Amino acid sequence: MAASTEISDEDHSVELVVCDGPAPQPDGVDGDGGSISEEITPLLKPAEKPKINIFSVSYSRRRPKTVSASNFSFPPLTEQVVKLQEAETSTVTQFVLWVWNGSRYSGLLCVGFSSVLYFLMELLSDTFSPQSIPLFESAFARCTVTLALSYLWLRRAAQPIFGPAHAWKFLFFRSLTGCLSLLSFVYCIQSLPLSQAIALSFTTPIMASVVARIMLHEKLKIADIGGLACSFFGVLFIFRQILTTQEILARAGEAHYTVKRGSHPVYALLAGIFSSISGGISYCLIKAGANACDQPVATVFSFGILASPITAISMFAFEDFVLPDLSSFFLMLILGGLAFSAEVFLARGLQLEKTSKVTNILYIEIVMLQLWAIGSLRITPSFGGLVGCLLILFSVCYTMYIGPDKETE
């Protein structure tokens, strides 16, 4: 209730007006009828959603990781997605990815894994060879399987089949020198005893290191030269016993190797040296091509696209074609798949690491073959063979201990 009084002097009357007062307000409401909560309303009304922009989002300072199984160049993923994929992948896949690009030793590990695959190829071909297949036919099968698998790899990775334009010259000369090395090596195997041809082929790492010094301007340190020399002397110690055994068997008329008739040993020796030199040049071009196109599989595809028709022509021109049976056919497919994997890992190792270190790791294949031959009782252990294995193992372990150079990290 409220009352107001008006006094008029003219009529000398007093008027009393009584009116109802305002009703009692509930808690939180002021006397003017407005809500107290309206006075503390935030600047942004509840109906309006806050706008999010690049300045209002807190980003992690870490760069998003990129998953690359074979340099596929997938788009960047967040850490949560990467961890989820790692949890879903198998242990073998995680190991392969770690060898491929998960360690500062990945270049050396890739070459070591390639040597293991080459050893498995030799093991399978010696153990499960139900049929004698000519050399050019075997080379054609491996090159064809390698070509098909590398094509599928590049297509699935959405990479250019022939690589970028600036890498064409490296890929072409890589395939050319690789084919010349393959053809001359096959001629050397047909014309010389197998152990001599293999001993000549293992001069390729030395040639590759020398060519890399000239072409790629890589530094050859004393440790690199000593490691290569130590490994090659180990090869000579190992094959010295084999050569002596073959000479004794040849005198007794029990040699198991065949030499091509009408071929001169000097020509075969020159072919073996030419194979090593061209192989060393091919290694350097693999490194240059893989770095130019950022895809080591492109170097494998370029070799297969030229080697397949050349070996096919040589197969029908210089040898008699032998139709393989079912078991030999499947064995050729398996060996082709292993050859593809070995070449890809070798190209990856050359891409990541210095040539002299990479090629020195390749000598570990000789040690594995020698130990397997001793374990399977195919040869008797000899002092020279054991010394050769120890020299190669010491050289390879020392290369791994030194690790990659700072300039290649």
DSSP track, 69-136: SSS--PPPB-HHHHHHHHHHS-HHHHHHHHHHHSSTTHHHHHHHHHHHHHHHHHHHHHHS--S---HH
How far, in whole angstroms, is CA 148 from its chain's centroid? 18
Average of per-residue pLDDT across 55-77 = 40
Give residue 19's pLDDT. 54
Interatomic CA distance for residues 157 and 216, integer angstroms: 28
Evaluate whether 336 touches 142 at the Cβ level (below 8 Å).
yes
Average of per-residue pLDDT across 249-260 = 45
Evaluate whether 301 touches 174 at the Cβ level (below 8 Å).
no
Give residue 51's pLDDT. 46
- Is the per-residue pLDDT at 357 higher than 60? yes
Interatomic CA distance for residues 215 and 348, integer angstroms: 19
Evaluate whether 208 touches 279 at the Cβ level (below 8 Å).
yes
Residue type, 35: S
Interatomic CA distance for residues 349 and 347, integer angstroms: 5
Interatomic CA distance for residues 115 and 342, integer angstroms: 7
267: its two tokens: 């020509």
Q: How many degrees, rounded to 5, is the angle at CA 104 between CA 205 and CA 162?
A: 60
Give just the sign of the alpha carbon dihedral 361, 366, 369, 375: negative
Tell me what the pLDDT averaged over the chain comes to. Answer: 77
- Is the per-residue pLDDT at 382 higher than 90? no
| φ, ψ dihedrals at 373, nearest 5° | -65, -35
- Which residues partner with 77 through β-bridges? 65
Confidence of residue 66 (pLDDT cuts 50, 70, 90): very low
Name the nearest CA neighbour of 200 among 185, 212, 190: 185
Confidence of residue 239 (pLDDT cuts 50, 70, 90): confident
Name the nearest CA neighbour of 408 among 368, 336, 351: 351
Give residue 149's pLDDT. 94
Going by their DSSP bridges, the two strands 2-8 and 13-19 should be labelled as: antiparallel
Give just the sign of the alpha carbon dihedral 73, 76, 79, 83: negative
Any residues with CB less than 8 A from the CB of 254 and at least 6 apart, and which? Answer: none
Report which secondary-structure segment, H or E, holds 64: none
- Is the per-residue pLDDT at 359 higher than 50? yes
Residues, the chain, total?
A: 409
- Is the per-residue pLDDT at 13 higher than 80? no
Contacts of 262-266 with CB under 8 Å at 24 or more apart are 263/187, 263/190, 263/191, 265/191, 265/192
**Percent of the chain having pLDDT more than 90?**
33
15: its two tokens: 């008027």
325: its two tokens: 């049976």
- Is the per-residue pLDDT at 349 higher than 80? yes
- Which residues partner with 16 through β-bridges? 5
Interatomic CA distance for residues 299 and 289, integer angstroms: 6
Give residue 284's pLDDT. 94
Q: What is the pTM of this model?
A: 0.73
Name the nearest CA neighbour of 231 among 207, 206, 194, 195: 206
Name the nearest CA neighbour of 179 among 213, 153, 146, 212: 146
| φ, ψ dihedrals at 191, nearest 5° | -105, -20
Tokens 């995680």 locate to 94
